[in-house]
Structure 1
Amino acid sequence: MRVAEAPTRAQLVQRAKDLAPVLKKHAEQSEQDRRLREETIEALADAGIFRMRVPARYGGYEADTRTLVDVAAELGRADGAAAWTASVYWIPTWMTCLFPEHVQEEVFSTPDVRICGTLSPSALAVPADGGVVVNGKWSFVSGALHSQWQEIVAVVQEADGPPQPIMALVPVSDLQIVDDWHTFGLRGTGSVSTVAQDLFVPQERVMPLGAVLQGQHASPLNADTPIYRAPLLPVASASSVGTALGLARAARDAFFERMPHRGITYTGYGRQAEAPLTHHQVAEAVLKTDQAEFHAHRLASLVDGKSETGSEWTLEERARARADMGAVCRLAKEAVTVLAGASGGSSVYSDAPMQRIARDIQAVNLHALMNPDTNSELYGRVLCGQEPDTLYL
């Protein structure tokens, strides 16, 4: 084990900015391949992106969620698929840090290890001598094609009790890959399905999902480290929103890059920048992006502040974390929609960056955890004094 000198937030954000030429270069091919290019993965690894939630004793940076937001936003500005995949890796990497130390040592012994995962309990497990045997399938497993480990969720049926959801760590090599990622958006994430058939998982790599959702530890060494003592869903929320913010900024970049070279056809405006309509459109889009940034940073500040003090989370704070995440996604999509609509007929060609940006932000908003309407309803439900209708809070 070694302790690395962690780079600062500013240094990590600058590294993400410096990746832009590589990510942009390979973004279109990644979309066509339905998986990230190896060059993209290598660039992300070299920049330390996969170490951001790894404990310092394993060479990680133990970055807070504000850093995750700002780094993902820069990555998303260059390639939404690369940003999404990196963000997804951060979540199960953080979850791995709740496991006993000897499990962490096994996982983090691989340099720049990549851990994919899911929160959906779409598999069944039965107790076995020394562990459990799992059968099932998980979909939307972003980054699985480049991962060494997967965090899985299954429901175990004990002989003398009710079904209980569990979380486990398994080598990706023990799973079957189903190449079913044929989508309109976030195509480059390679979010394929994985399948377990009679897979034995030792008990040391199994934890109750309820404990994980509450941020409870089997890792004494991490228990007092601020970033590892928050509940899972606020952590996952803060880990995810940077991609949406980055896509809104990418749309702004793409629009202003083309604007000086085009007019508005069938009008008297030879230069789009002269049109009052354009002035309203860009102001609306930029203000929505600013609002998205506010919610992203408010969410990160909540998670980091509570983690630093170790204070208990209220039900309203948990619901607000998901609401802030949904607000970022909604506002970012609205900003992209405005700028895409202002980009004219020439933007319908498939090689126009705005096309991929618009598809990616729509796909983000359709994600079950990110969905703005679901998250707003949950927040309003709690604000009205009702009990939440989900454990994912």
Structure 2
Amino acid sequence: MDSDSVQEEIVKRVRAIVPLVQERAPWQDENRKLHPEVVEALDEAGVFRMRVPARYGGYESDTRTMLEVAAVLAQADGATAWNTSVWWIPTWMVGMFPDHVQEEVLGEYGGRVCGTLSPGGAAEPADGGIVVNGQWGFISGAPHSHWQSIIAIAPTADGSGMEPIMALVPISDLRLVDDWNAAGLRGSGSVTTVAENVFVPSERVLPLGAVMGGQTVSEANRTLPMYRAPLLAVAAATSAGTPTGLAEGALELFLKRSTERGITYTDYERQADAPVTHLQVAQASLMADEARFHAERLTGLVDSKGALGQEWSLQERARCRADMAALCRRSKDAVTLLGEASGGRSVYSGHPMQRMVRDITALNLHALMYPDTGFELYGRVLSGLEPNTLYI
């Protein structure tokens, strides 16, 4: 089976588990983590191996395929799609490490790696590595992960200063704090993890700046298309499917319900017959289309430059953040409009529309997805100024 057929098969398998994800979504929302059956179904569908090199049984999927998979999942449940995306990013980051480290992390477990890009700990030099203490919040999927990528501040190699480093740690070495009591993406299990005098061998430590720049130390991965992109471009493209899918899913749900319910205190027995509904669905549909445009432009850029091995310009890197910002905002606009037009019964906790509204709101508050930050960065670069952040 050729590569394109493999990717199509993964999308097909994911579509087949949508009914299960929809069925378990209320449980996940109530219990604040993914249901074990959903995790198992994702595993069996091959989702966790999409960003794993082929030599470890992975599929080396492009970001366009991941956009489709996450969008399909988001139409069923935003938290499931978000967890999937968040697992893909640290799994990709594992590929920046030496090949024998990848074997240790990916060979047995195949891609259930959670992580963060925010420093939350301090590292001290130790014989053969470092000792880390600290804590990291918003670690989506930690309850079901095998490894975590952590960010800590450590002395530079020459001892002249401090720098952020990335380290890979077995999840069993960390303490999980069940503090994920959030309004949106409740099923994502985004708990806090804590390191208490955790030793990390030097082979599992890299400077964060090198990872951000896509400077893999892996000999085997240097020529793989999916490693020919900077981290933030990869993270943006990998995350695009969840907000896009939420907008498309909300529109599909609204259109279905609009033929089954009327508008209270009017003579419309079907909401779909009202002119105001026509205006609402037209606007929401175009907003979802705009989100899809930015998602496809973003993933298209990442995939095409990876396939050709081309250098990245600063403007291209900044535009990836801007495309993410745009698709998040337009997705939120669409879901909010449809949520407000869905009637009083949609506020009940068991209604999927209110969960979509909460999930898209939470996504738009994520530090790397908050629209105004992405727009400002892009505008700064377009204006000829240097970026004022490492996260580009």
Written as runs of structure 1 = structure 2, the 5 A alignment for 1:115-194 is 115-158=113-156, 160-194=159-193
Give the counterpart letter for 1:211 in structure 2.
Answer: A
Deviation at 1:10, TM superposition (A): 2.1
Show the counterpart of 1:261: 260
Cα deviation, 1:284-335, whole Å, max 9, x if unaligned, reads: 0011001100000000011111111211111110110000011111111100
- Provide the TM-score with structure 2 as the length reference: 0.97
1:51 to 27, 41, 49: 49
Task: Indicate the percent of aligned positions where both proteins have the same amino acid.
Answer: 59
Contact 2:131/2:198, CA 8 A, preserved across alignment: yes
Say if 1:96 and 1:6 are closer, same or farther in 2 by CA, change over 3 A.
farther
| Range 3-12 or range 238-247, more displaced | 3-12
Deviation at 1:109, TM superposition (A): 2.3
Mapped to 2, the partners of 1:261 and 1:216 lie a distance apart of 54
Show the counterpart of 1:197: 196
Q: Does 1:243 align with 2:235?
A: no
Cα deviation, 1:167-212, whole Å, max 9, x if unaligned, reads: 0100000001011100010000000000111111000000111110
Contact 1:216/1:229, CA 8 A, preserved across alignment: no
Written as runs of structure 1 = structure 2, the 5 A alignment for 1:205-284 is 205-284=204-283
Deviation at 1:6, TM superposition (A): 7.9
Mapped to 2, the partners of 1:160 and 1:273 lie a distance apart of 68
Give the counterpart letter for 1:164 in structure 2.
Answer: E
Mapped to 2, the partners of 1:354 and 1:268 lie a distance apart of 24
Q: Does 1:391 align with 2:381?
A: no
Give the counterpart letter for 1:125 in structure 2.
Answer: A
Q: Secondary structure at the match of 2:122?
A: strand
Give the counterpart letter for 1:201 in structure 2.
Answer: V
Give the counterpart letter for 1:206 in structure 2.
Answer: V
Q: Does 1:321 align with 2:325?
A: no
Contact 1:6/1:61, CA 8 A, preserved across alignment: no
Show the counterpart of 1:76: 74
Contact 1:7/1:61, CA 8 A, preserved across alignment: no
Give the counterpart letter for 1:380 in structure 2.
Answer: G
Runs of 4+ in 1 over 4 A off after TM superposition: 3-7
Mapped to 1, the partners of 2:13 and 2:30 lie a distance apart of 26
Contact 2:33/2:187, CA 8 A, preserved across alignment: yes
Deviation at 1:89, TM superposition (A): 0.4
Say if 1:5 and 1:338 are closer, same or farther in 2 by CA, change over 3 A.
closer
Mapped to 1, the partners of 2:58 and 2:159 lie a distance apart of 42
Q: Does 1:379 align with 2:378?
A: yes
Give the counterpart letter for 1:154 in structure 2.
Answer: A
Contact 1:4/1:59, CA 8 A, preserved across alignment: no
Query: Runs of 5+ in structure 2 lacking a partner?
Result: none
Q: Secondary structure at the match of 2:216?
A: coil
Written as runs of structure 1 = structure 2, the 5 A alignment for 1:84-103 is 84-103=82-101
Mapped to 1, the partners of 2:110 and 2:311 lie a distance apart of 32
Contact 2:49/2:110, CA 8 A, preserved across alignment: yes
Query: Runs of 5+ in structure 1 lacking a partner?
Result: none
Give the counterpart letter for 1:88 in structure 2.
Answer: V
Cα deviation, 1:48-91, whole Å, max 9, x if unaligned, reads: 00000000000000001111111110011111111000100000
CA-based RMSD = 1.4
Give the counterpart letter for 1:43 in structure 2.
Answer: A
| Range 305-314 or range 235-244, more displaced | 305-314
Q: Secondary structure at the match of 1:42?
A: helix
| Range 232-241 or range 122-131, more displaced | 122-131
| Range 338-347 or range 7-16, more displaced | 7-16
Give the length in aligned residue pairs.
391
Deviation at 1:8, TM superposition (A): 2.8
Mapped to 2, the partners of 1:31 and 1:204 lie a distance apart of 38
Q: Secondary structure at the match of 2:221?
A: helix
Show the counterpart of 1:105: 103
Say if 1:330 and 1:211 are closer, same or farther in 2 by CA, change over 3 A.
same
Mapped to 1, the partners of 2:57 and 2:2 lie a distance apart of 5
Give the counterpart letter for 1:237 in structure 2.
Answer: A
Deviation at 1:16, TM superposition (A): 1.7
Deviation at 1:7, TM superposition (A): 4.9
Show the counterpart of 2:112: 114
Contact 2:88/2:238, CA 8 A, preserved across alignment: yes
